[in-house]
Amino acid sequence: MCKNSVEDCIAPGNREDFEIGPDNHDTIGMIVIGKNGHIVAGTSTNGATHKIPGRVGDSPIPGAGAYADDNVGAATATGDGDIMMRFLPSLLAVEDMRKGIEPSIAAENALRRIAEFYPTFSGALIAATKDGRY
């Protein structure tokens, strides 16, 4: 089991602890910087757990699930999609980075903005600059 560190989690002997099944998956977000400097962000959705049939999730909404700008950096987020679509946290984080704010602080700022209105919001956001700071 991987309780001590990321290294423990990714060690070959521990990978079987992460079998994917219908009850243990969630959103995945990632940021990739290509060798030419192009930066992209992407996100998946966790599926239909609390989604109204026919509703579009936050993942495909620019700025909600993910946002990237080659001149600045990128961000991707997970959480209650209905709330995230109202605040566009990934866009907020990238715009903070555009102002020179460090990525970790930009991510915190975006989540704090949501928490002002939804104190019980549970979510996460990752952000990185075009030069790889996160």
Question: Tens of pLDDT along 114-129?
Answer: 999 999 998 899 999 9
For the chain, the average pLDDT equals: 83
Q: Which domains does the chain have, with CATH numbers?
A: 6-129 (3.60.20.30)
Average pLDDT score over residue span 28-32: 91
Q: In this predicted model, what pLDDT tens digit does every residue of 54-74 receive, in sequence order?
A: 777 777 788 889 999 999 999
Q: How many Cα neighbours within 13 Å face the side chain of 81?
A: 22
27, 43, 45, 129: which is the annotated catalytic residue? 27
Specify whether 76 is catalytic. no
The pLDDT, as a whole number, for residue 2 is 42
**Measured between alpha carbons, how far is 104 from 51 in angstroms, rounded to an integer?**
29
Tokens of 123: 């979510």
Q: In this predicted model, what pLDDT tens digit does every residue of 65-116 receive, in sequence order?
A: 999 999 999 999 988 888 999 999 999 999 999 999 999 999 999 999 999 9
Inter-residue contact 87 to 110 (CB < 8 Å): yes
Whether 39 has a pLDDT exceeding 50, the answer reads: yes
The pLDDT, as a whole number, for residue 62 is 83
Q: In this predicted model, what pLDDT tens digit does every residue of 1-16 receive, in sequence order?
A: 445 554 555 566 655 5
The pLDDT, as a whole number, for residue 19 is 62
pTM: 0.77
